[in-house]
Amino acid sequence: MRKISSFGKEIAIGAAIVLFIFLLYVGFPPAFMVMGLLMFGALFLFARQRGGLAMGTAGKKAAARKPAYLTFEDIGGQDQPKRELTEALDFLVHRDKILKLGIRPLKGILLTGPPGTGKTLLAKAAAHHTHSAFIAASGSEFVEMYVGVGAGRIRDLFKEARQQAVKLKRDSAIVFIDEIDGIGGKRDGGQHREYDQTLNQLLTEMDGVQGDESVRVLLIAATNRKELLDPALLRPGRFDRQIQVDLPDKSGREHILRLHARNKPIDEGVSLGKVAEETFGFSGAQLESVMNEAAIYAMREQSEKVQTAHLTQAIDKVMMGERMDRETTREERERVAIHELGHAIVAEHVRPGSVAQVSLTPRGQALGYVRHHPQQDRYLYTQTVLEEQIMIALGGAVAEELNYGGRSTGSRGDFEQATSIVRTLIESGMSDLGIIHPQALTQEQWSRENEKILNELTGKTRELLGSKLETFRGLLDILVSEETLSGKQLREILLKQAA
């Protein structure tokens, strides 16, 4: 924090005493003088808190949050972003080479991607890699209703970064701003002067990073809403590198799981590779939560090691939510079982071996669920794959119709998923409408094509499940009595029925 010099304090106190004596001499009422001094003191303290005479709140919070350094080796599942970031940081590590080749130093690196993928960890590792001072802040810390306060905090943040580097005897500093869309949003020419001034000050600080400064300051920012950022912030010369930090693939997930398993006693029979298969679409934060929850389940059961069953329960909890103690009637349980078996049987028919478990355990808002594990990570989807996914979503409602003659409210989420996939089909040019811009379609055309696709796939699903009515009876008894049905059990019974 910046301090007012003792000499300045003495002058201020002396001036106040002289003013008090003078007003008393000319007959000014003492009560009014005391009130005036109190009001002046209150305004003085308010100005200090708002950044007028001291470092802004952002700088103070940033200084209080200097995290322990970690290396790129401590971050799993992000090999490509780590390579890109390492190359971008060369201007801080290899200054001589940069000057020899006449390369302009980078001023900013933007990390974009879904939440929980490790953007903050990458920024911390970058500080260690470059042997730089590191200060972190959040975009929300600079947003104030008072004009000019946010801009002052930006100045204080960069100044504190340079001071910290000098204090640590380092020639570079990294300023990390998380959720930068809080201050870097597009300017609309409205009356949001505080937002505009804060962003303008950030742009000024980035432009002020010159190659001949004794301490080079690099800004690393993170956001999961890049499309909201102002174009002036994204242009070359500001954020010179934009690195996408995506969800990890299978090998990346296994790497992350192994990193978080280092301090946990894992049973020899546990296959983290299989856990990685069953956690498709999980972020690094979710995988860390899986390992942590598995250890908690082990502790509850007083087990000395984390076993496969604990990891399975942890995956269900992270994916679906905590187990709920809901009392349901026998009729309700049977209907939920029929519904979930409908999903599972269709899934096994169109994608053999894809069902991991069918459960009647209430979790979150779901009274039951089917957990799938993909055979391999998939990033491109054909028309056949999307239509199969729609049939799986419709399987629950169709199973209820065949067994009870009607549907229940439990199909609402399934229908939302099915209509969302239909929209993907249409927008990808896979419907009978052909290749067409979505905005060129009227609401009537959307509804007609949506109805056509769903009716066709509902008919296929009904035909498939109609031939498996006897199978429902055998599976229903097992699921209702045991509450869970493994994918292996399901496949064995389906195989017997087919024979």
Residues noted as catalytic: 340
Calpha distance 398→492 (Å, rounded)? 23
- Cβ 203 vs Cβ 151: under 8 Å: no
Using DSSP, how many helices (H) and how many strands (E) does the chain show?
20, 8
Closest by alpha carbon to 182, among 221, 136, 237? 221
- Cβ 257 vs Cβ 291: under 8 Å: yes
Place of tokens 């029979």: 269
Q: What is the widest separation between alpha-carbon atoms in the chain?
A: 112
Tokens standing for residue 61:
């919070």
Q: In what order do the strands lie in the sheet with 241-244?
A: 133-138, 172-178, 216-223, 108-112, 241-244
- Own/partner contacts of 190-196, CB < 8 Å, gap of 24 or more, are 193/147, 194/143, 194/144, 194/145, 194/146, 194/147, 194/148, 194/149, 194/150, 195/143, 195/150
Other CB atoms within 10 A of residue 153 CB: 27
Closest by alpha carbon to 291, among 255, 323, 315? 315
Closest by alpha carbon to 266, among 241, 290, 234? 290
